[in-house]
Homo-oligomer: A and B are copies of this chain.
Amino acid sequence: IPAQAAPPLPSWNEGPTKSAIVEFVEKVTKKGSPDFVPENQRIATFDNDGTLWAEQPVYFQLIYAIDQVKKMAPEHPEWKTEEPFASVLKGDMKNVIASGKEGLMKILAATHANMTAEKFRANVSDWLKTARHPKTGRPFTEMVYQPQLELLDYLRANGFKTFIVSGGGVDFMRVFAEKTYGIPPDQVIGSSLKAKYEVKDGKPIIIKLPEINLVDDKEGKPVGIHQYIGQRPIFAAGNSDGDYQMLEWTTAGAGPRFGIILHHTDAEREWAYDRESHVGKLDKALDDAGKKGWTVIDMQNDWKTVFPPAKQ
């Protein structure tokens, strides 16, 4: 008799949400069951911002970009008068956002491009060590959801291959995804810039170019899944309308499928937001979850804990 395994998903409250997840995993892994899915087809995709880690008050990657602009400012005296940099330096986020796509592209180019992939990785890694969340004071890699970490582990223990499919920058997420989520770099799919290979002074380098390669959001998510994973997931989790198409694509396939929407309902332990939010807007996907058969996680009721205990 094998030792009894610890019950799965300890940070999830008992109830229909947890039961639905466990029932799904049990039926697709049960040999001989009509719902059995071979291991090489057990593909699970997770959005990142607002699904695996928090996204308030703004996307953490935007906080990174702003911190980098501030750090680089001494070498760019022209930024004192050049928008959107001047507003970033003054902390006038309203003006930064008002600069629109063009402004954000300038910030992206300055902080994410025109450098080697190696340099970018080192910058993000350094930032993660010292940067702290403005509300909780915790490292950003501790602003992850404990129940989701358990869900990832549970799926992998049951032969699933877990992927991130996120609108966030792929090179940004790859710096911490393996250590934080147990998801290796090649299983992280995200928005990306074009890149170029060259040999400079005898040293081969990859340079990040200030040009969009893939916007891995909305219709871009099934496209990213097609290009990077090459097969349709049977399990997908998201938290916003940006995940609508990923969930639709995943759950429209034949055989057993599972779609999850994380609904941020917990103003006390995390944040409560949905239809009107400037990040993670959840409107159409919430309306359609019922008819699409997607499971809506009610953070306040379904989760015993939100964040993992502090490491120090």
Contacts and interface: CB of A to CB of B under 8 A. Distances in A.
A262 interface: no
A226 B204 contact: no
Contacts of A170: 227, 230
A242 to B, nearest CB: 13
A222 B204 contact: yes
A160 interface: no
Contacts of A206: 222-223, 226, 249
Contacts of A192: 227
Nearest to A173: B230
Given A185-B229, A185-B231, A228-B228, A197 B213 contact: no
Contacts of A187: 186
Contacts of A203: 252
Interface in A134-180: 161, 163, 170-171, 174, 178
**How many residues of A sit at the interface, in one of the four size bands?**
35 or more
A85 B248 CA distance: 38
A40 interface: yes
Nearest to A188: B230
B248 A222 contact: no
A195 interface: yes
A186 B186 contact: yes
A256 interface: no
A174 B117 contact: no
A210 interface: no
A288 interface: no
A92 interface: no
Q: Which of A43, A197, A219, A252 has the most CB of B within 10 A?
A: A197
Given A163-B186, A171-B230, A196-B219, 8 more contacts: A40-B178, A185-B230, A186-B229, A186-B231, A195-B223, A204-B248, A204-B249, A204-B252
12 contacts: A43-B186, A117-B226, A174-B231, A186-B186, A186-B187, A186-B228, A188-B230, A195-B226, A197-B221, A199-B248, A206-B222, A206-B223
The 5 closest A-B CB pairs, nearest first, are A185-B230, A197-B222, A197-B219, A186-B229, A174-B230
